[in-house]
Structure 1
Amino acid sequence: MSLTGKHILSSDLFDRGELERLFELADVLTPVARGRQVTRILEGAVMASLFFEASTRTRLSCEAAFMRLGGGVTTTTGAEIMSIAKGESLADTSRVVSGYCDLIVMRHPEEAAVHEFAAATNIPVINGGNGAGEHPTQALLDMFALHREFTRTGVTLDGRRIALVGDLRHGRTVHSLMRLVTLYEDLTIVCVAPEPLGMPVHLLELAESRGHTVELSDQPEIGLKDADLVYATRLQTERFADRPMPYSDAFRIDKALVSRVCREDAVIMHPLPRDGRPGSNDLATDLNDDPRLAVFRQTDAGIPMRMALFSSVLGVADAVPDSLRPAAWYRPDYTGPHDAPFYKNIAT
């Protein structure tokens, strides 16, 4: 399957073969993402970065990825400063912006908006998050990070036990991840959430239709036990600010809980941002020195994977290897003070 010219609105677009091709290309592009090599494969191309909703990681990562490929970026954030605030339709905005650029990355708080926007243009639109719907580029980088974690330890994702924990109803990252992770075989997927925040039924049915075992739990102490992967999400309070939800202290994934129930070689991930304030029911900061915590290895996967996606969508993926050359500027050690020893050895 070729991605050239396609809208990337949902993780449903990908099969396992396409995922693995993107992993290979992202591996090639990792030295570029880390400032060790340079490519100008998208020199002259322009990406429009349209974020109708706040973003830090996704917006900066997408923009950096496009510029690392040699392209230029034009950006705007916040619906209140766009012409939509003056009554312009999404279709009109889409048609106009399409005349300025070669690719659009868009985030919007309404689930249907990105589909309406894409329907009005013939240039590729990348979904950077649509309300509580999906976040396909986050799921792609999550899968790339997960692929690296398991490859490092000599196993594959097939046959693993995966715990998805937190606000699974409103968490668009886990919605997209569910569509991709179930492309693998013989998984046990444990969805750990209070009943009102459970995974949407159609995604549970998708997993079962692909031959996986699905378990439901409202107790992290039980649901995380013996998991190979723990994928935690924050409470999406912006999606239901007027409705209190039951969310107990049991959903604080901290060092004490991990030490009691998680495997010694488990991988712990989170799409970020996490609420690291004392007493929050999220992934705790006291895990920062635990080598199982992969959240920063996960974010490091974002730029090479998005570079792989952009170069594929704009039809230059095959030319990437021959376009690479050494970077001329100084770069310090890539890793941070809390990174696991094995990552320090492989990330520079």
Structure 2
Amino acid sequence: MKIPGLQQAQRDLFVYHQRFVIKEQSQIGDVRRQVQKGLRLLGGDADLAARASLIINELGTNLLRHAGSGGEILLRYLDQPAPVGVEILGLDRGPGISNVTQAMTDGFSTFGGKGIGLGSIRRQSDMFAIHSRVGEGTVVLSRVWQATTRLRSSQSSYQMGVISVAMPGQTACGDGWRTAFTRGVLTILMVDGLGHGPEAARAAKTAMRAFERQENHEITEMLQAIHEECHGTRGAAVAIVRIIPAEARLEFLGVGNISAGLVSAQKFSGCLSTPGIVGLGQLKLRKMEYPWDGKSLLVMHTDGLQTRWHHSDVYHMPRNPMIKAALFYRNFARGHDDATVMVLKQG
């Protein structure tokens, strides 16, 4: 994903999720104002802002009613398949919904309300998904795009879900990610700047800019260039994945503690990184190759998420990769660091 011609603050809106913990009614208004501000910055029109605001209002109200004080709304802005859009996620660990189909019906409510929340969110959304399990909580995904802009057709044959959020209490995120798709080959960067806060964010952004300039090079050359660009920063952990489906293989090159691997119904096959810090000292780079069958999931995450998860935790989640990523974040985020997780599947 490369977004030329935008200032850094605008570019960040497409990479990172803004996180809002919903504990009281006034915080729903804060989220609405934030999405209106972001859409204005990107040239969104009044209709898009109104639809997004309505979704946030209904979603936030549901979180307050059913999730107590533990619900979150995550926002990220979209440039595909239309130039301007927004992704809105609601996550909670509340009681869950026993009958999602019934809960989507207008007039149904377990709380004495009008019973139009989820149905209204679905109607206002261009893309909508929900997952709920009794005793575990609910994830709601809504995406809306500006109606006056032409939808772009994607040449990529991959579906990806990604969440990247700053450490609670911080505004700058020291993680980052980028993708590039050229002639059937997908290349992915994930980076975790050392520590957290503005200096970690500077290291991550330096790595991402270097990736954009090198995205068509061989991945060992790419990481070496990123290493050189990151001199003068505090350094970072970096992982690069390149999927070459025509050759049924995946290339991986990692330095530091970013986790990556292939998840199937039977097992998790981890990708091997080498110790070190990109941007500091000398690196010993070792590119690894793994078979790519187009059926496994690729899962990558920074150390802001726990590694004590089982392959079945991810593989048997709902099929939508964004819902998978949201559940992974909700269930495994440590809560005291920046956190980024990506789930990708082919087809």
Is TM (by shorter chain) over 0.5? no
Larger RCO (alpha carbons 8 Å, 6+ apart)? 1
